[in-house]
Chain A
Amino acid sequence: AQKVTQTQTSISVMEKTTVTMDCVYETQDSSYFLFWYKQTASGEIVFLIRQDSYKKENATVGHYSLNFQKPKSSIGLIITATQIEDSAVYFCAMSPVNTGNYKYVFGAGTRLKVIA
């Protein structure tokens, strides 16, 4: 069974600094997708960024990037030049690839507070 663990419950950082949120996962699948989603204060949940397990290059989208360490089953989210509007809850998730099972499993979330 798949499992996703986020050990950081909450993080506070100063605006314009860089923050890293940790996520480790467990799976028996040889190929899988890893995701980060953001839940804003209004409750809206939006997709941020994805890493394909068979790709060695770390994914980057805007000021979001990933630190994918496959041997450690780890996928960290890095936010550079943080802004107040980055304050939110961030969820790590995973799903298998090409098995016909599109079951997404989420972690418990990390609450980020960006302070001016």
Chain B
Amino acid sequence: EAAVTQSPRNKVAVTGGKVTLSCNQTNNHNNMYWYRQDTGHGLRLIHYSYGAGSTEKGDIPDGYKASRPSQENFSLILELATPSQTSVYFCASGVQNTLYFGAGTRLSVL
């Protein structure tokens, strides 16, 4: 069974602070993704990766960085968090014809 684990599950951050969201997958999938979910917008792609060392910009990358240091780990980094980045963030890993999602991280930036 595919397993994607996100940490933390909940995070409260201050405006201007640095936030790192972590994702670990045990599926040995090459591809990993970060999405944010907001009411009315569905799931929007922030960054994705084809494998260790690679990161690609998604549809809404501004204000976010990504890091893929290994096959298993993919991080999303908010260098200077803003209230507009308050959202639920989902990590996913997958092959071309199926995505497996983590449980999500609820981030509040105050």
Decide if A72 is an interface residue (CB 8 Å cutoff). no
Chain B residues proximal to chain A, CB less than 8 Å: 31, 33, 35, 40-45, 48, 50, 56, 58-59, 88, 90, 92, 94, 96-101, 103-104
20 additional A-B pairs beyond A35-B98, A43-B88, A45-B43, beta carbons within 8 Å, are A33-B96, A33-B97, A44-B101, A45-B90, A45-B104, A50-B97, A50-B98, A91-B43, A93-B43, A97-B96, A102-B31, A102-B48, A102-B50, A102-B96, A104-B94, A105-B45, A105-B59, A106-B44, A107-B42, A109-B43
Tell me the complex Cα distance, A32–B57, Å. Answer: 20
Tell me the complex Cα distance, A44–B6, Å. Answer: 12
Decide if A81 is an interface residue (CB 8 Å cutoff). no
Secondary structure call for the B interface: strand
- Residues of A with C-beta under 8 A to B98: 35, 47, 50
Which of B33, B41, B42, B45 has the largest count of A CB atoms less than 10 A from its CB?
B42
Tell me the complex Cα distance, A106–B42, Å. Answer: 7
Task: Given A91-B42, A91-B43, decide whether A106 and B104 contact each other with a Cβ distance below 8 A.
Answer: no
Decide if A63 is an interface residue (CB 8 Å cutoff). no
How many residues does chain A have at the interface if contact means C-beta atoms less than 8 Å apart?
A: 22
Chain A residues proximal to chain B, CB less than 8 Å: 6, 33, 35, 37, 43-47, 50, 91, 93, 95, 97, 102-109
Asked whether, in the complex, the Cβ of A44 is within 8 Å of the Cβ of B103, the reply is yes
- Residues of A with C-beta under 8 A to B100: 47
Tell me the complex Cα distance, A91–B41, Å. Answer: 11
- Residues of B with C-beta under 8 A to A6: 42
Closest chain B residue to A100, Cβ basis = B50
Asked whether, in the complex, the Cβ of B101 is within 8 Å of the Cβ of A46, the reply is yes
Closest chain B residue to A106, Cβ basis = B43
Asked whether, in the complex, the Cβ of B104 is within 8 Å of the Cβ of A43, the reply is yes
Asked whether, in the complex, the Cβ of B99 is within 8 Å of the Cβ of A47, the reply is yes
Say how far A91's CB is from chain B's closest CB, in angstroms.
6
Closest chain A residue to B50, Cβ basis = A102
